[in-house]
Amino acid sequence: MADVGVKDGSGASYRPLRTAGASVPPRRESAVARLIRLLWFQRSIRGQILSAFVLINLLACIAVSLLIVYNARRATLVEIGASMELAERLVHTAVEDVGRTIPGRARLQDLPLQMGGQRHVRIVTTTVQGEPVWHSRSAPAQSVPRESRAPDWFAALVGVDVPSRDVPVFSDGRKIGTVTIVSEASDEITEVWDDMSDLALVALVVNLLVIGVLHLVLGQVLNPLLRVAAGFRELEQGHFHYRLPLPRIRELADIIGRFNALASSLAGAQADNVRLNRRLVAVQDNERRQLAIELHDEFGPCLFSLKANVASLARFAEQLPPDIGGAVRDRACTLREIGERIETTNRRLLKTVRPMALGHVPLSDAIAGLLSEFERLAPGCAFEFATGTLAHSYGDSIDLTLYRCAQEGLTNAVRHARAQWIRVEVEECGDPAGGPRGIRLSVQDDGRGIAEGTATGFGLTGMRERVTALGGSFSISGSPGGGTRLAVAVPLDEDECMPTTSASSQGAGL
């Protein structure tokens, strides 16, 4: 990895270019991007839509509140200004009236009492020395309860600053006091606060109702999509008979209808694959059966004839001279040994290609015979065999598959796991999902077990492929108390079973 310098257009400097094989460091996610991802992209669609609705309504409420406060400030300013103008005129008129009515002897106490009852203003009369002249109607007492209903922060937000106005009072050309007009916006602010509180309550109730309706509607829309996701998980696990109910929404009903059609197509393709694999396995089993028949019917008589002729040759050698007869007897003995090896090999091939007992004895007896052979090979191991209700036979393919799986499981338990106890169970059972019946086989031991992630050998791999070709399941797992458990399940068709044999259960010591 190297940087290559390239001149710019002026030829005065170089700028580095990274070669094609250079690695670019990953970009680090910023805190804002991480926060957005956590608060938005990791939420459900319903949560995103509801959050967007709440955010839009919150922004709308803020905008409406600002607009109301702005209009309230402007209206309050207009209202207070008009009230101040009216109050000032009334005060001037009252002062002039007092001066005309009682010339030279006017007093502050003689001012008309109605001056104190004006709205949005407070009129205070003071002497020249600044001492207030109190009067019961100098301030609107009815406004006090309303002031307490508006918070201070809202009053400071909406309140306007209107300068007070002073009207001097003269008597005989001498100033005897002052009438001060002070703005009082508490009534107007309280009215705005009451209106905003009522509007906020109505908006809150309406928004809660809308959010509840949206939650229900989105549930009706999104729940079918969640069921579609669950259906795809079922299809991923191979459950192609899974179907979804059609919703009432037309668009979603079309989507789910396509999903059910896809599941039906996959189920049909799986059924076709199972039938094809069963046919392939049946063809292989037929070939093996034909090969076993050829080995038994052709090689058997030939080997018997060879042994008979060798015996006859040995008897004929006794009639020859000793020097010639000895050589003939040696050749006859060699031929007999070769024939015995061929016969032994032929028996082993017959047993490998197809156990001769299958198809002639019940399946449970064939597996019991297999356990008897292993009991002779491993006398220190305890064997248990348990069966449920089994048919006499389930066809060559299934019988041979179950027999080979039991044989492979027993071989691994005795040879590799060094087990001291082995239990084999085989039974016919019904499918809980309502599908076709099946037959289950399990081989459990108390050996060393199998480590997780251990690769299976050719024997188990071949058994797994054979069981899968028949549409069944094949698993190997550790037992809770130690050891290993091999479980095989193969589905059955009604026409694959011969008459049922009586159930049997056998313990240790077959």
- In the structure, what pLDDT confidence band is assigned to residue 99 with cuts at 50, 70 and 90? low
Q: Which amino acid is at 118?
A: Q
Rounded Cα distance, 147 and 497, in Å? 94
Rounded Cα distance, 259 and 228, in Å? 8
Would you state the structure tokens that stand for residue 313, as one six-digit string? 């040759």
- Whether the CB-CB separation of 406 and 439 falls below 8 Å is answered with no
Task: Report which secondary-structure segment, H or E, holds 400.
Answer: helix 396-415
Provide the pLDDT for residue 209.
Answer: 92
* DSSP character string of 359-376: TTB-HHHHHHHHHHHHHH
Provide the pLDDT for residue 16.
Answer: 46
- Whether the CB-CB separation of 90 and 115 falls below 8 Å is answered with yes
Would you state the structure tokens that stand for residue 487, as one six-digit string? 């479980």
Residue in this structure with the two tokens 């400097």, named with its chain if needed: 13
Provide the pLDDT for residue 10.
Answer: 44
Name the maximum alpha-carbon separation found in the chain: 188
Provide the pLDDT for residue 2.
Answer: 45
**Cβ-proximal residues to 108 (8 Å cutoff; 6+ apart), any chain:** 125, 127, 133, 169, 176, 177
Is pLDDT of 451 > 70?
no
Q: Which residue has the higher pLDDT, 361 or 384?
A: 384
Would you state the structure tokens that stand for residue 120, as one six-digit string? 């949005």
Least confident of 155-164, 199-208, 211-220: 155-164
Task: Report which secondary-structure segment, H or E, holds 142.
Answer: none
- Whether the CB-CB separation of 166 and 178 falls below 8 Å is answered with yes
Task: State the average pLDDT for the chain.
Answer: 76
Provide the pLDDT for residue 81.
Answer: 82
Provide the pLDDT for residue 117.
Answer: 59
Is pLDDT of 83 > 50?
yes
pTM exceeds 0.85: no
**Cβ-proximal residues to 154 (8 Å cutoff; 6+ apart), any chain:** 189, 193
Provide the pLDDT for residue 162.
Answer: 76
Rounded Cα distance, 397 and 286, in Å? 9
Is pLDDT of 409 > 80?
yes
Question: Taking residues 43-47, what's their average pLDDT?
Answer: 77
Provide the pLDDT for residue 95.
Answer: 75
Instruction: Give which of 21, 164, 203, 168 is closest to 91, Cα–Cα.
Output: 168
Is pLDDT of 506 > 50?
no
| CA dihedral sign, ordered 258, 262, 265, 271 | negative
- In the structure, what pLDDT confidence band is assigned to residue 104 with cuts at 50, 70 and 90? low
* % the chain with pLDDT above 70: 76
Instruction: Give which of 112, 116, 172, 166 is closest to 141, Cα–Cα.
Output: 116
Provide the pLDDT for residue 205.
Answer: 92
Q: Which residue has the higher pLDDT, 39 or 19?
A: 39
Rounded Cα distance, 412 and 419, in Å? 9
